[in-house]
Amino acid sequence: MSQPRSIRVPILTRVEGEGALNIRLCGSRIEQIELNIYEPPRFFEALLRGRPIEDVADITSRICGICPIAYQVTAVQALETILGIRIPEPIAALRRLVYCAEWIESHVLHIHLLHAPDFFDCHSGIELARKFPDQVKRGLKLKQLGNRILEVLGGRAIHPINIAIGGFYRLPKTSQLTDLIPELQKALQESIDAARWLGNLPFPDFTAPYHYVSLIDADRYPIESGRVAIGPDQTIGLEIFETHFQEFQVPHSTALQSKFLGTDGASTEYFVGPMARLYHNQERLGPQAKRLADELRFDARRCNPYQSILARAIEVVHAFEEALRIVQALQDGRLGGLAPRVSSEPHAGIGMSATEAPRGLIFHRYQIDDVGNVVFAKIVPPTSQNQARIEADLRLLLEQIHRDSDPSIALACERLVRCYDPCISCSTHFLKVNIQRE
């Protein structure tokens, strides 16, 4: 097995965006492991400059077709802090509702079409649907309901058009929301069944020392607001986010990487996403999601990335519970007579916001001028933050499996990378596995 070998797997599949994985092995020594993100750079932060602030939500949504709401809500919230806008409670609830819908469509897509096939040795969700037609169809129906909520509140599922600074362009009618209640009730049950289906998957035995980072939002499960949890009992405000989380460029990636800089000056990889959210917030889940997490004996402290599929399934249940709670609360007609958005006059300033995109914490900072044009934009998406952690995990995995054949190493690495639900379009992008042995 110590013969020099060179292996090349052409594209990492069932992830969003394009990249490669470069591995160089010399006997049992791992000489190089690089997540080579070659997705073409699109320069969003540069092309936003000079644009009116009203364009920011529409433009940043184009960073990612799978999680446009995360970009839109984070962007408008950052701009609202500059303008001093406070959103009325029912409109804030609608923002949370549309964000829940995005969690649902994104998580259900990843669970059923991208991730689950690995546990059943299928190449695709389509192939999985031939083995498990009822389960996959149930998943597609759940996804469809997530998309429907996005359509009601956002106008369409991909790149919604209704998120505005100060609220929405137009508010839904109360009846449009109450119409969703029976479907949401049914979907909540089905999402619990879907999670139970995944509960007994054969998860590979693998753990890594994770430094989990997510928002913590008082007594709620964090979605669109909160402070940043950097340790078990330690949170920071957004004003010092950039002191602790620093982006840097590496030659093999068009996505900037990111590391956590502790108060002692040491820098480490960190991990954002559903596992991190559950680690910091499991007790804040909705009652049914919480019961389910206990029933499945899910514990993020186990630090097994393969179980992220369970974390997503639990969060889908939470998102349905939360969506149902919001819609039921809005039944009383409190949306009636409300202006769809709070108006404001532009003035110069700097504002930031962090929310929990389906794939993890996302941070935006904008500077605007007196007439309401963007002067500066900084966007830190979840996948670029996870890049360094993914590379560290691949190194740990390779230490265990370097004696295996090249195709099985490539497959195992690809499967591990998929656990993170990397969105390379977001991070800039992803994947080919190149293994060189010397």
Partner 1 sequence: MQKPMGKPHKPTVAVVKFASCDGCQLTLLNCEEELLALADRIEFAHFAEASSDLRPGPYDLAIVEGSISTPKDLHRIVELRAQSKKLITIGACATAGGVQALRNFADYEEFKKAVYASPEMIESLAESSPIAQHVQVDFELRGCPVDKHQLIEVVLAMGSGRRPKTSTECVCQPCKRRGTVCVVVAQKKACLGPVTQAGCGAICPAYDRGCYACFGPASQTNMQALSEGLLLNQMSNTQAAMFLQSFHPASPEFQGESRRLEESPRRLWQLQPPSRS
Q: How far is the CB of 168 from partner 1 (least distance, A)?
A: 8
- Indicate whether 183 belongs to the interface with partner 1 (CB under 8 A): no
Footprint on residues 1-60 left by partner 1 (CB under 8 A):
10-18, 38-43, 45-47, 49-52, 55, 58-59
How far, in Å, are 147, 362, 405 from residue 216 at the CA level?
Answer: 27, 13, 43
Q: Closest by alpha carbon to 129, among 117, 141, 119, 118?
A: 117
Q: Which of residues 303-362 bind partner 1 (CB under 8 A)?
A: 340
219-248 residues near partner 1, rule: CB under 8 A: 248
The answer to whether the beta carbons of residues 161 and 58 sit under 8 Å apart is yes
173 contacts partner 1 (rule: CB under 8 A):
no
* 254 makes contact with partner 1 (CB under 8 A): yes
Nearer to partner 1, 68 or 305 (CB): 68
Please give the Cα distance from 192 to 1 (Å, whole number): 46
Which of 335, 325, 336 has its CA nearest to residue 287? 325
| C-beta of 42 vs 211, nearer to partner 1 | 42
Of 29-37, 134-142, 317-325, 362-370, the window that binds partner 1 (rule: CB under 8 A) is 134-142
Among 123, 173, 302, 347, binds partner 1 (CB under 8 A): 123
* Phi-psi category of residue 21: left, alpha or beta, with phi > 0 → left and psi -120 to 50 → alpha: beta
> Ramachandran region of residue 179, left (φ > 0), alpha (ψ -120 to 50) or beta?
alpha
Please state the closest distance from residue 241 (CB atom) to partner 1, in A.
19
Shortest spacing between CB 297 and partner 1, in angstroms: 30
User: What's the chain's length in residues?
Assistant: 438
C-alpha distance across the termini of the chain, in Å: 11
Q: Residue from 29, 62, 347, 403 that binds partner 1 (CB under 8 A)?
A: 62
What's the closest the beta carbon of residue 217 comes to partner 1, in angstroms?
Answer: 28
From residue 413, alpha-carbon distances to 35, 123, 220, 241, 337 in Å are 11, 15, 35, 31, 55
In the bound state with partner 1, the residue whose beta carbon lies nearer, of 127 and 438, is 127
Q: What is the dihedral of CA 387, 388, 389, 393, to 10 degrees?
A: 100
Rule CB under 8 A: which residues touch partner 1? 10-18, 38-43, 45-47, 49-52, 55, 58-59, 62-66, 68, 105, 109, 113-114, 117, 123-127, 129-130, 136-137, 140-141, 143-144, 147, 155-159, 161-162, 164, 168-170, 248-249, 251, 254, 256, 340, 414, 423, 425
